[in-house]
Structure 1
Amino acid sequence: MKKNQLLNSELSYLVATLGHTDEVTVCDAGLPIPETTSRIDLALTHGVPGFIETVRTLLAEMQIEGVVLAAEFREVSPNLHEELQHLLQIEEQKTGKAIRRTYISHEAFKSRTEGGRAVVRTGECTPYANVIFQAGVVF
């Protein structure tokens, strides 16, 4: 059995096969997922798993250098946005590397998911609880 935090085989495989700058989206239960993009659906019921716990688990396995967020996230759901920012600050401290933050419109965000490696759907029901992780390198 795998010893690290991430047990989901699809997510584990995805992280193991990422290259530098590949993008992975973690989204709430309502974000439309393009037919052409790989879907890893973790949603079980409303709120399970949550956005933050999914992000926390993915960050334990994945090196990131940037995130893309909808500008509406910080405006409409400021508490969850702040929790994400806190996790990113902890990640920066652990790795000693800055994480670039880019804000775009929600419409542009939805379009951008088409070019990513995968969209990971959570059971989160907080508006705009979505993030695109840009893979970094560990060296």
Structure 2
Amino acid sequence: MKKHGILNRELAGRFAKLGHTDRIVIADCGLPIPDGVPCIDLAYKLGEPSFLSILEVVLEDLVVEAAVAAEEVKTKNESIAGKLKDNLSNISYVSHEEFKELTKQAKLIIRTGETTPYANVILQSGVIF
């Protein structure tokens, strides 16, 4: 059994298959899931697990070279916006509508129980070398 990192076998397996520039989404419980994009639903009640708790463990386990969030997070959810800026050095912003379009290209969406607005991020996989 793994001693640390992601213990969820489906997440760990999907992360192992990611290549350079592949994208995953960490989403709040309200983000629409595009047809055809696999979703691992971790939500078990409103607010749990939180977006930030999942972001933290994913960033411990995955090399991330870039990120995208909705522009609206900056004014509608300053707490999440601040944490994104603190944890992701190469983050860009697009409109929420464009963000939803970009999710159609993701290899995976991780759905959290987060209920605060615009608590979503697209993470682009990097390389370890």
TM over 0.5: yes
Q: Report the equivalent of 1:52.
A: 52
Q: Which runs of 5+ in 2 are unaligned?
A: none
| Distance (whole Å) between structure 2 residues aligned to residue 60 and residue 14 of structure 1 | 15
What is the CA–CA distance in structure 2 between the aligned matches of 1:50 and 1:67, rounded to whole Å? Answer: 19
Give 2:109's aligned residue.
119
For the aligned residue pairs, the C-alpha RMSD in angstroms reads: 0.9
Aligned to 2:60, the other structure's residue is in SS state: helix
Q: Secondary structure at the match of 1:74?
A: helix
Q: Point out the structure with the larger helix share.
A: 1
User: Distance in 2 between the 1:104 and 1:85 partners?
Assistant: 15
Offset, 1:87: 2.4
Percent of residue pairs identical: 43
| TM-score, length basis structure 1 | 0.90
Q: How many residues matched?
A: 129
- Post-superposition offset of 1:84: 2.3
Contact 2:85 2:91 (C-alpha < 8 Å) held by counterparts: no
| Cα distance in 1, alignment partners of residues 4 and 17 from structure 2 | 17
What is the TM-score when the length of structure 2 is the normalising length? 0.96
Please give the secondary structure, in 1, of the residue aligned with 2:72.
helix
